[in-house]
Amino acid sequence: MMVSIANLSIILVILLSMFQFFIPVIFLERKKMTLINLVPFLAASNFFLLSVSFFILILSYINSDFSLFNVWSNSHTSKPLIYKISGSWGNHEGSMLLWCWVMSLYGFLVSLNIQKISQSFTIRILMFQGILCFGFVLFLFFGSNPFLILDPAPIEGVGLNPLLQDPGLAFHPPFLYLGYVGLSIVWSFALAGLFNKKFDRDWARVTRPWVLISWIFLTIGITLGSFWAYYELGWGGFWFWDPVENASLIPWIITTALFHSILVMEKRGSLANWCILLSIIAFAMSMVGTFIVRSGLITSVHAFATDPNRGIFILTLISIYIVASLSIFALRPIKADGFLKYRIFSKDFFLILNNLLLMTAAFTVFVGTVYPMVLEIFSGERISVGTPFYTITVIPIIFLISIFAPVAVFLPWGNLEVKKQYKKYTTPYLLIIFSSWAVCFYMDIKSIMSFIGVFVSFWIIFLSIYNYLLKFSYSTLSSFLGHVGLGLFIMGASISISSQEDFESSVRVNSSINIGGYDIDFKGVEDTKGPNYISSKGIFVVNDNDNTSILNPEKRFYPAERSVTTEAAIMTNFLSHIYIVLGEKVGSEEWVIRIWYKPFISLIWIGALFAALGGVFALLNRKKLSYNVFKIVSFFIISLAIPMSTNAKTFENEIFDNATEKRIHSINQNIRCMVCESQTIDDSNSPLAKDLRSIVRDKVLNGETDIEIYDFFRKRYGDYVILKPPFRLNTFILWFTPIFIFIFGFLMIYLNQRGAKDLEGNNDP
């Protein structure tokens, strides 16, 4: 009975969303107000009906109703309640229902018309949201129905992937979808704006909150996903440029560019067409990300295992939406009132330049993500695009963005003169230089990229603080927090990557290890039983001067799923981590142990949360409410630095000099593990990865060069094993995409300014 109600609700949404689109198309211009007034009601009805379906699915998981194929294939009676609930969206079908529910939620919020926008504009927005809802709910019902019946009903379920049985995965997808799918309403605002008779700064004013909401949720969702991968996957990294990670990062970058462009439009009335285009592209990339995750074309720990027919369905659907929206934009562009002229040293120019750099970064990540798939389809050749490629192409762009961001804050808008008051900035410049040198000296940073990263982080942090203190106003607090958050993120990444220490070896019980100034005693392993797993729990005593902590990394066996997972143990000590992973047993009293010391790595997530908090401040208009939010979130962020432990390179048996270890570590990070999902041999805990790390170590100690070592692996496994793609004719586009995009964009800016000068010259008497 409940399943029939859920399916009926979905069918009704398909019909109602179709009416939600066609009623305005047919009757809005004719001003048939009786029918037009139905549109907000239809949007609210769609939200209510999908909420009913979603609630029924969650209830089925809670009650372990294995008559549903979706529940049977993703749940088990022994699972804790929180994982039963999160299991409802931890699979393809359930996550598509969540996708459609979030889309209807945004339509419902617009139907309430809290912003008091005009009726015709509201109806247009809901019209486009309706056609989106129609397509995706149609795909949900016919291609990804979570309410398929099993008859007879099994007694027990298969279970959920143990990696997904974690609190982080209970919150990461909903937050990510609230941002990811939230861009659908921005898309609808953009297309509705093209049909609005009056397109001006009011469009930017009413659209900006929805852009901010999506950006905030995307930021939080990506941060939660990064932290989940860090402590759950047991490889000690926070980002490894996985295609699914990139699929969420690309819309975030474009939304960042869109938010800054809307600021220019609000203040200056310019960039209208650019804002519309960015709105369309941002949601288009969200839809493309959906295809990447669900097409079955890529291998990732984040991807849903699904059949290619679904991928074809999704590709067809998103192609229709993207082509249609771009066609509408091409046929109905906003007519600009001449050209807007601005000086190089103006806020306008720096925001536009940051837009160009952000879009260059976004499309570089996009090309790097899809190019291996395209190349394999058309030529049969396989290459890998990983961290080395993005370090060379994307990271320098991020550094440039970070340098320009705080500069734009204190520059004036428009065609104004800037007084050369350089002397008042002498103090922050000296602080930046001294602080960068002191940190690099203290942390023994020798990597050029990490040194630049530390300098850039201090640059953006000190200038942001200095600019905020000069103005000290509530209105500038959001940009201050956002920019400082970016600086903290870069600092955490730069220091932790460059200065981390790592250990890997077989260790006997009651042995001691020293790393990062900590003495770690291995006391043994005990067997315990969890709610739905059996655990081998390591006992490690970490001594830091007079402080002692006990860490318990685990290897868990889940009988229902017949799967083994690694649970890392992490001790946080004032922004730094001791990270321990328990490996395989190699003797009666001997286990393989991996330990990392990661200095200042907590700054990565603290910085991301500060940036999200900046977005919250920009969204909230009431000072009192904003400061209360600031106090609560600040307390939470500061608590991340308090010493704590949680359950969550490479020495073998001899200690070699630090330079040799860093070189081995660097080589390992460039070689793909052939049995893992987008991981390097440095990250992976598989037996093959351990063997390949041993080969790398032996070759380094035998005096072989990096090129000779990479050639050895290429001959054995092909180009696919090296994460830095070779530079040759069929990878020319891949490597030169950033240059092409930046030159093209800069040329457009130049031609725009040249047009402005010509127009000014023609208007001279």
Q: What is the pLDDT of residues 473-514, one digit of tens each?
A: 666 788 888 889 999 999 999 999 888 888 888 899 989 999
User: What are the distances in angstroms from CA 165 to CA 171, 236, 299, 301?
Assistant: 12, 19, 20, 14
Please indicate whether residue 677 or residue 157 has the higher confidence score (pLDDT). 157
At how many degrees (to 10) do helices 243-268 and 347-379 cross? 150
Q: Give the CB-side neighbour count of residue 674, counting CA atoms within 13 A.
A: 14
Lowest mean pLDDT among 9-23, 513-527, 750-764: 750-764
Q: Which strands make up the sheet holding 590-598, listed edge to edge?
A: 501-508, 590-598, 576-587, 569-573, 644-647
Which one, of 353, 472, 485, 457, lies nearest residue 410 by Cα? 472
With cut-offs at 50, 70 and 90, classify the pLDDT of residue 199: confident
Res 490: pLDDT: 93
Parallel, antiparallel or unpaired: strands 590-598 and 576-587: antiparallel
Res 720: pLDDT: 82
Which one, of 717, 68, 128, 673, lies nearest residue 386 by Cα? 673
Angle, alpha carbons 406-411-413 (nearest 5°): 125
Name every residue whose Cβ is closer than 8 Å to that of residue 387 and which is 6 or more positions away in sequence: 240, 241, 669, 670, 680, 723
Distance of CA 762 to the CA centre of its chain: 48
Question: Stretch 178-203: mean pLDDT, rounded?
Answer: 88
pLDDT tens track for 643-664: 444 443 333 334 445 677 778 8
Angle, alpha carbons 183-187-190 (nearest 5°): 135
Whether residue 147 is predicted with pLDDT greater than 90 in this model: the reply is yes
* Alpha-carbon torsion angle 133, 136, 137, 138, nearest 10: 120
Res 654: pLDDT: 41
Amino acid identity of residue 644, one-letter, is M
Residue with tokens 């208009």: 621
Which one, of 366, 324, 281, 329, lies nearest residue 132 by Cα? 324
Which one, of 486, 189, 220, lies nearest residue 478 by Cα? 486
Beta bridge partners of 565: 556
Judge whether 70 and 94 are in contact, CB under 8 Å: yes
> Which of the listed ranges 40-54, 85-99, 458-472 does the model predict with the highest average pLDDT?
40-54
Judge whether 554 and 582 are in contact, CB under 8 Å: yes
φ, ψ at 539 (rounded to 5°): -120, 115
Task: Decide: helix, strand or coil at residue 684.
Answer: coil
Res 21: pLDDT: 94
Please indicate whether residue 19 or residue 28 has the higher confidence score (pLDDT). 19
Whether residue 323 is predicted with pLDDT greater than 70 in this model: the reply is yes
Judge whether 446 and 439 are in contact, CB under 8 Å: no
The count of residues in the chain is 765
Whether residue 363 is predicted with pLDDT greater than 90 in this model: the reply is yes
Dist CA 645 CA 553 (whole Å): 11
User: What are the distances in angstroms from CA 201 to CA 74, 217, 254, 356, 652?
Assistant: 48, 25, 20, 22, 63
Whether residue 137 is predicted with pLDDT greater than 90 in this model: the reply is yes
Concatenated DSSP letters for 220-248?
HHHHHHHHHHHHHSSS--S----HHHHHH
Which one, of 651, 642, 680, lies nearest residue 516 by Cα? 651
With cut-offs at 50, 70 and 90, classify the pLDDT of residue 7: very high
pLDDT tens track for 219-238: 999 998 888 888 877 677 78
Whether residue 93 is predicted with pLDDT greater than 80 in this model: the reply is yes
Amino acid identity of residue 107, one-letter, is G
Whether residue 739 is predicted with pLDDT greater than 60 in this model: the reply is yes
Beta bridge partners of 557: 534, 564
Lowest mean pLDDT among 99-113, 342-356, 712-726: 342-356
Dist CA 48 CA 58 (whole Å): 15
Question: Stretch 521-529: mean pLDDT, rounded?
Answer: 90
- How many CB atoms within 10 Å of residue 665? 18
Question: Stretch 200-206: mean pLDDT, rounded?
Answer: 86
> Which of the listed ranges 78-87, 344-353, 361-370, 528-537 does the model predict with the highest average pLDDT?
361-370
pLDDT tens track for 370-386: 888 888 888 888 888 88
Name every residue whose Cβ is closer than 8 Å to that of residue 451 and which is 6 or more positions away in sequence: 436, 440, 445
Judge whether 670 and 224 are in contact, CB under 8 Å: no
Res 548: pLDDT: 86
User: What are the distances in angstroms from CA 104 to CA 17, 122, 625?
Assistant: 10, 15, 28
Concatenated DSSP letters for 395-459?
HHHHHHHHHHHHHHHTSPSSS------GGGGHHHHHHHHHHHHHHHHHTT---HHHHHHHHHHHH
Give exposure, 313-322, as e/b (b: 16+ Cβ within 10 Å).
Answer: bbbebbeebb
Which one, of 563, 555, 556, lies nearest residue 580 by Cα? 555
Percent of the chain that is helix, strand, coil (3-state, to 5):
65, 10, 25
What's the mean per-residue pLDDT of the chain?
Answer: 83
Distance of CA 66 to the CA centre of its chain: 34
Lowest mean pLDDT among 107-111, 686-690, 750-754: 750-754
Res 47: pLDDT: 96
Dist CA 356 CA 746 (whole Å): 8
Whether residue 765 is predicted with pLDDT greater than 50 in this model: the reply is no
- How many CB atoms within 10 Å of residue 62? 15
Whether residue 256 is predicted with pLDDT greater than 80 in this model: the reply is yes
Dist CA 354 CA 284 (whole Å): 21
Res 620: pLDDT: 79
Question: Stretch 567-572: mean pLDDT, rounded?
Answer: 89
Angle, alpha carbons 687-563-678 (nearest 5°): 50
Whether residue 338 is predicted with pLDDT greater than 50 in this model: the reply is no
Angle, alpha carbons 292-393-747 (nearest 5°): 100
Judge whether 434 and 464 are in contact, CB under 8 Å: no
